Amino acid sequence: MIKVAVLGYGTVGSGVVEVIESNNAEVSVKAGEEMHVKYILDLRDFPGDPYEDRVIHDFNVILNDAEVSVVCEVMGGVGAAYQFTRQLLEAGKSVCTSNKELVAKHGAELLEIARNKKCSYMFEASVGGGIPVIRPITKALTAERIEKITAILNGTTNYILSKMEKEAADYGDTLKKAQELGYAERNPEADVEGYDACRKVAILSSLMMGKNVDSEKIYTEGISKISAADFEYAKAAGMTIKLLATSEALEDGSVLAMVAPAFVSGEHPLAVVNDVFNGVFVRGNMLGDVMFYGRGAGKLPTASAVVSDVIDCARHIGRSSIICIWDREEAKLADVAESRKRFFVRAKASAGEKAAEIFQGCSFVDAGRTEDIGFFTEEMSEKSFEEKSSAFGEALLSRIRLA
Amino acid sequence: MIKVAVLGYGTVGSGVVEVIESNNAEVSVKAGEEMHVKYILDLRDFPGDPYEDRVIHDFNVILNDAEVSVVCEVMGGVGAAYQFTRQLLEAGKSVCTSNKELVAKHGAELLEIARNKKCSYMFEASVGGGIPVIRPITKALTAERIEKITAILNGTTNYILSKMEKEAADYGDTLKKAQELGYAERNPEADVEGYDACRKVAILSSLMMGKNVDSEKIYTEGISKISAADFEYAKAAGMTIKLLATSEALEDGSVLAMVAPAFVSGEHPLAVVNDVFNGVFVRGNMLGDVMFYGRGAGKLPTASAVVSDVIDCARHIGRSSIICIWDREEAKLADVAESRKRFFVRAKASAGEKAAEIFQGCSFVDAGRTEDIGFFTEEMSEKSFEEKSSAFGEALLSRIRLA
């Protein structure tokens, strides 16, 4: 029998217990032994809950119980969660988590401890919710040199952008509706400013590079400046706008990572990743492009991913199941200013002549609007674009990169 | 050092050697030991080939070499490939294959031998080419009860349908062009009649059910009757036409599996799986929908999948890496005639009144055509549809299911 403890009885924690109980036949067969949740650690009590007898308040009960071999850390944060995870791994207990903040910040160190202690630190649920992303990248694409990742990693912003497109609505109104429906938090900053996607792409980048990619050094831009007018131009050009998290392994050994809204061709598979769904596009040197698509959040999908990690750990008791490389050495981040791409520009109608002059070779998009103009530049460095576009001054209404 | 043998030095076989050699650093790190191709078995000689010194003609050299722990069977067919695979597994050597025909026919038996001999029989490359499909289903979605699979599994037919849509071309012309370009074989029957997709969906269905699903019992319909006119109606309805392989675990314990062209909504993620790409949509009871997308064929993508299996075997020397359930017991196939769905019908223009009479509640599609009419029926059983539509006689031009 595999005895499991769950740290944190919130949304994901209760989902983990539900998946292990509801799918117990499937889970136990796959784990090779019956699986049982022995403890649920939480500060609160849950009178009336079907599992109230398993709720405890003292972490040390779990740490010191030799029967518990796998622990799910689904409490979040980088304080107690970090201390608990360290102690558990040091004690040789495997830890499975959905805590992207902790993984992004201390993943390399926690993986090292797990390896040394012949147990596992697993985090499938930290990126893409229920979509298998971490495991395919680390355990399936093993014959590949991964060259580039292009992904929609945040369900809230994708929901907002999808609605803006469908309903020709502005950002502010759409955010408000999303908050009313529970798709966006009351304090939506972590989502809409791209911080959540940034942590996730830091994790994927670290796995791609085999070195630590510091999320705080990744250039990050949110969606709050995107307007209904931008979508009109995107539509006229057969495109859409998505918040993309991208990461590319450059030939000089550095990594070019960023989070920013981008114009995406309507024919690109990421263009149909709508609403709260996520999509992760991976380019391998042998394989070409593969994409993983599904629900990027939600109680049961996320819990299902945590439990798939628990099963993996259960099959590797006494040895580490970790196959990924993620050293503590810091990866070198490439300078975004030097990276080259095309840009979409929306400017006041009066700036039309200036546009053709400054951005020679640019192509105008006819969206049937008179208030403003929109055009695509030729490919240039970000730095060069900033220099040129500064000539527009206040006439510049928006600029969005092309994917 | 992991010593590998490759059976068959054709397209995939030479790709396997290329992936192991070109990505040797990545492959060896992931395998935990350096990987080396010791033998290449083929009937032919390859003078001038960089690996000509490794080519041998006697299978027994591989079978009797204790140094060889993993063998790639990429020769195809169900004759010698079957005998060789059995002998290798009986000898405790793991076998990795891209041979979907053999996996579909003898997978259950070969898995059983591998399990008993503490080695592995792996077949990631048998479905979806380079896309991780088998491993995510068997090793990532382990906490799920998989309920349904909807997939585009054949690159040739998907290429033909994509071209027909884009160029408003008819089937015959498009097939001819595809043959000229090498995207379709001179004898294209296995692809265009759906047999290839059928074998692949039999493999996925067996993994979903945990029992053997006989590919020969799966209802299979190809794309040769699809016309440019059908695509006109699809377009007018905001849809497209794809050759879908579907498999659903029904509540009575049976499985409803089939391969047939279907109208797919333009908003469905499978609608943008174009050209030679494949897409596999999986519905789990906790997770909802996930999709895996990528190149379903090709030398290096397929070889990459084979090598990912070799790495998995290399990490599990002396024990089986198999986690899937696929018993020899036959799964019960549900009767397609009883299954319910909506249908698209195209009929001679003169049959308009009859249509509204026979298919009450049907909705007509205006594609601006005068030669014929097109409409969607309400949901009904296949049997009931066949009965009703027989009243059209020769006026019935085509009937295509709705996904």
User: Which residue ranges form the domains of chain A, and what is each CATH number?
Assistant: 2-130+299-314 (3.40.50.720), 140-295 (3.30.360.10), 337-402 (3.30.70.1150)
Q: Which two tokens stand for residue B382?
A: 């296949």
Rounded distance between C-alpha atoms, residue B37 and residue B13, angstroms: 11
Assign A170 a pLDDT band (cuts: 50, 70, 90): very high
Assign B72 a pLDDT band (cuts: 50, 70, 90): very high
Instruction: Give me the helices (H) in A168-243, please.
Output: 171-180, 189-192, 195-209, 228-236
Give the lowest-confidence range in A111-115, A235-239, A287-291, B315-319.
Answer: B315-319
For chain A, first and last CA: distance in Å? 49
Assign A296 a pLDDT band (cuts: 50, 70, 90): confident
Q: Which two tokens stand for residue B52?
A: 């000509």
Neighboring chain B residues of A274 at a CB cutoff of 8 Å:
267
**Residue A187, number of CB atoms within 10 A of its CB:** 9
- B298 in Cβ contact with B130 (< 8 Å): yes
Q: Is A24 on the interface with B (CB under 8 A)?
A: no
Instruction: Give me the helices (H) in B117-227, please.
Output: 134-135, 155-167, 171-180, 189-192, 195-209
Give the lowest-confidence range in A64-68, B100-104, B132-136.
Answer: B132-136
Closest-CA distance of chain B to residue A288, Å? 7
Chains A, B: CB pairs < 8 Å: 180
Nearest CA in chain B to A310: B143
Q: Is B402 on the interface with A (CB under 8 A)?
A: no
Q: Is A62 on the interface with B (CB under 8 A)?
A: no
Pick from A286, A316, A321 the residue to mutate for testing the B interface (most B CBs within 10 Å).
Answer: A286
Rounded distance between C-alpha atoms, residue B33 and residue A62, angstroms: 36
Q: Is B11 on the interface with A (CB under 8 A)?
A: no
Percent of chain A with pLDDT over 90: 91
In the predicted model, what is the mean pLDDT of residues A258-266?
Answer: 97
Phi, psi torsion values for A396, nearest 5 degrees: -75, 120
A347 sits in which H/E element: strand A343-348
Pick from B12, B14, B142 the residue to mutate for testing the A interface (most A CBs within 10 Å).
Answer: B142
Neighboring chain B residues of A74 at a CB cutoff of 8 Å:
none
Rounded distance between C-alpha atoms, residue A281 and residue A246, angstroms: 9
User: Are A291 and B293 within 8 A, CB to CB?
Assistant: yes
Residue B297 has pLDDT above 90, yes or no: no
Which 341-360 residues of chain A touch chain B by CB within 8 A?
none
Q: Give pLDDT tens digits for A355-379.
A: 989 999 999 999 999 999 999 999 9
Pick from B23, B287, B295, B321 the residue to mutate for testing the A interface (most A CBs within 10 Å).
Answer: B287
User: Are B315 and A323 within 8 A, CB to CB?
Assistant: yes
Neighboring chain A residues of B310 at a CB cutoff of 8 Å:
143
Pick from A17, A26, A137, A239 the residue to mutate for testing the B interface (most B CBs within 10 Å).
Answer: A26
* Four-point Cα dihedral B162, B166, B168, B173, nearest 10: -50
Neighboring chain A residues of B287 at a CB cutoff of 8 Å:
130, 294-295, 300-301, 304
Which pLDDT belongs to residue B240? Answer: 97
Q: Is A130 on the interface with B (CB under 8 A)?
A: yes
Mean pLDDT of chain A: 95
What is the number of residues in chain B? 403
- A73 in Cβ contact with A6 (< 8 Å): no
> Within 13 Å of residue A354, how many CA atoms lie on the same side as its CB?
18
A163 sits in which H/E element: helix A155-167
Give the lowest-confidence range in A374-378, A396-400, B170-174, B322-326.
Answer: B322-326
Q: Which two tokens stand for residue B376?
A: 């969607």
Assign B352 a pLDDT band (cuts: 50, 70, 90): confident
In the predicted model, what is the mean pLDDT of residues B145-154?
Answer: 97
Rounded distance between C-alpha atoms, residue B140 and residue B324, angstroms: 11
Active-site residue flag, B93: no
Instruction: Give me the helices (H) in B91-141, please.
Output: 100-116, 134-135
Question: Closest partner residue to A290 among B132, B289, B312, by Cβ?
Answer: B132
Q: Which of A30-34, B324-328, B334-338 has the highest mean pLDDT?
A: B334-338
In the predicted model, what is the mean pLDDT of residues A32-41?
Answer: 96
- A25 in Cβ contact with A316 (< 8 Å): no
Which pLDDT belongs to residue A42? Answer: 97
Residues 6+ apart with CB under 8 A from B258: B218, B219, B220, B221, B245, B246, B247, B336
Nearest CA in chain B to A291: B293
Residue of B100, B105, B163, B200 marked active site: B200
Reduced to 3 DSSP states, what percent helix, strand and coil does chain A have, rounded to the nearest 5? 40, 25, 35
**Residue B4, number of CB atoms within 10 A of its CB:** 27
Rounded distance between C-alpha atoms, residue A294 and residue A238, angstroms: 24
What is the number of residues in chain A? 403
Q: Is A115 on the interface with B (CB under 8 A)?
A: no
Assign B117 a pLDDT band (cuts: 50, 70, 90): very high
DSSP SS3 for B241: strand
Residue B262 has pLDDT above 90, yes or no: yes
Percent of chain A with pLDDT over 70: 100
Which pLDDT belongs to residue B324? Answer: 86
> Within 13 Å of residue B206, how many CA atoms lie on the same side as its CB?
30
Rounded distance between C-alpha atoms, residue A367 and residue A356, angstroms: 17
Which pLDDT belongs to residue A182? Answer: 87
Closest-CA distance of chain A to residue B394, Å? 38
DSSP string, A249-306: E-TTS-EEEEEEEEEEETTSGGGG--TTEEEEEEEETTTEEEEEEEE---HHHHHHHH
Question: Closest partner residue to B287 among A144, A304, A315, by Cβ?
Answer: A304
Q: Which two tokens stand for residue B62?
A: 């591989």
Rg (CA), chain A: 23
For B269, B280, B286, the CA distances from B290, given in Å and listed in that order, are 10, 8, 11
In the predicted model, what is the mean pLDDT of residues B47-51?
Answer: 96
Torsion A29-A31-A36-A37 (CA) sign: negative
B259 sits in which H/E element: strand B255-265
Q: Is A323 on the interface with B (CB under 8 A)?
A: yes
Kindly provide the b/e burial profile for residues A232-267, where b requires at least 16 CB atoms within 10 angstroms of the residue's own CB: bbbbebebbbbbbbbbbbeeeeebbbbbbbbbbeee
Q: Is B304 on the interface with A (CB under 8 A)?
A: yes
Which pLDDT belongs to residue B323? Answer: 80
Rounded distance between C-alpha atoms, residue A306 and residue A308, angstroms: 5
Neighboring chain A residues of B285 at a CB cutoff of 8 Å:
22-23
CA angle, A87 then A93 then A97, to 5°: 80
Assign A195 a pLDDT band (cuts: 50, 70, 90): very high
Which 222-281 residues of chain A touch chain B by CB within 8 A?
267-269, 271-274
Assign A243 a pLDDT band (cuts: 50, 70, 90): very high
Which 73-112 residues of chain B touch chain A by CB within 8 A?
none
Which pLDDT belongs to residue B82? Answer: 98
- B344 in Cβ contact with B227 (< 8 Å): no
Nearest CA in chain B to A287: B301
Closest-CA distance of chain A to residue B110, Å? 19
User: Are A307 and B135 within 8 A, CB to CB?
Assistant: no
Rounded distance between C-alpha atoms, residue B302 and residue B320, angstroms: 23
Question: Per DSSP, what are the bridge partners of residue B245?
Answer: B151, B259
> Within 13 Å of residue A78, how many CA atoms lie on the same side as its CB?
10
Residue A75 has pLDDT above 90, yes or no: yes
Residue A352 has pLDDT above 90, yes or no: no
Rounded distance between C-alpha atoms, residue B349 and residue B29, angstroms: 65
| Residue appearing with tokens 């298998």 | A132
Q: Give pLDDT tens digits for A314-348.
A: 999 888 888 888 999 999 999 999 999 999 999 99
ipTM of the complex: 0.90
Assign A297 a pLDDT band (cuts: 50, 70, 90): confident
Q: Name the residue type at position A225.
A: K
DSSP SS3 for B309: helix
Burial class for A91, CB neighbours closer than 10 Å (0-12, 13-18, 19+): middle
Residue of A3, A100, A163, A200 marked active site: A200
Pick from B265, B290, B321 the residue to mutate for testing the A interface (most A CBs within 10 Å).
Answer: B290
Phi, psi torsion values for A284, nearest 5 degrees: -105, 155
Rounded distance between C-alpha atoms, residue A183 and residue B301, angstroms: 38
Q: Is B140 on the interface with A (CB under 8 A)?
A: yes
Kindly provide the b/e burial profile for residues B197-220, where b requires at least 16 CB atoms within 10 angstroms of the residue's own CB: bbbbbbbbbbbbbbbbbebeebbb
Rounded distance between C-alpha atoms, residue A238 and residue A256, angstroms: 27
Residue A127 has pLDDT above 90, yes or no: yes
Nearest CA in chain B to A266: B272
DSSP SS3 for A248: strand
| Nearest in space to B260 (alpha carbons), one of B324, B175, B344, B194 | B194
Nearest CA in chain B to A265: B272
User: Are A136 and B135 within 8 A, CB to CB?
Assistant: yes
